[in-house]
Structure 1
Amino acid sequence: MDPYLIYLLAVNAVAFLAFTIDFLLYMFADRELEDHHLLSLFAVAGGGVGMLLAFLLWDRRVVKDNVAWRFIAVLGIIVWALVTLCVYGVVRLDVRALLAPLDLALLAPVGIYVLTISAITFCVFVYDKWQAEHGGWRVREFVLLTLSLLGGAIGGLLAMHLVRHKTCVYYFS
């Protein structure tokens, strides 16, 4: 069997077990694993499928406290799917072509999209901060994370640091 495939199977199995243990500790011992930053690394290491499978089996409700885990898992799946496509030659990655001078006319629509979605994300984060300070209806974290995932991460990060919003929430910072 291919070593790359063995690695992905192993890391997903370990991710599934780690999140299952964390869920069981939470449900039956009323505590969780100490450091959730370590659990987030499973998505970086390629264990997003194992994470998502554990969520789907043990905790299907998506609420404020667990929505970031789903986003981290989905983001890991997307990145590792692209890596896998490159490893198996489905997608050819030509580094020289990527580093060649880029035609700005082709990049302009992408730049405009990123600037627009970042500006929208910035405004939504600032609005949520204002609502938080004045006791109004808050923007759901799902919306904030989705806007960031759709390309507004720059605007979200700027807003977080300029208005000091969501900087203590570990999965935003």
Structure 2
Amino acid sequence: MKNLLLTLKGGIGRQDFWIGFAIIAILTIAFNALISRQPIASAGAFWIPLIYLPVIIYMIICVYCKRLTDMGKTRWVFTGAIGLEILVIIMLMLAFGGVEYFSAYAEFERKDEIEETVKEAINAKYKAVQAANMHIIKPAMYIVPLLLTLWLAIAPSKPKSP
């Protein structure tokens, strides 16, 4: 298990990829259950994510990159998927209220003091647009990770040379 989740050495086949993916999914569900029970201003709400997130991100990198290695692909594919996901997030932000949000702030000079009520109105309008379109935004944000995961889970391993 340690070799599956905590090291970048070697490669893993489809079955081990699914096992690693399942472990990460279970840990994520357990983390969400734990953090949702913490009061917002508690020490647990601060420390648990601070410890958990780097560990789970490292596990994801290990499992996905080892699967890419087994397929004979470079690990840069994973980096490219992260970059593509960042672009998707930026495009969604701009498509659903981001352009108007930045335009509203662009009306003011950099040195001007913007009244708090104006800031709150701009932010509230942006949040309302985001909330109204969350049924589109959330699924769209899952497209890149879902496609990468399915590709890694389905693609055959690179044949071993004799």
After TM superposition, the score normalised by the length of structure 2 is 0.29
After TM superposition, the score normalised by the length of structure 1 is 0.28
Higher gyration radius (CA): 2
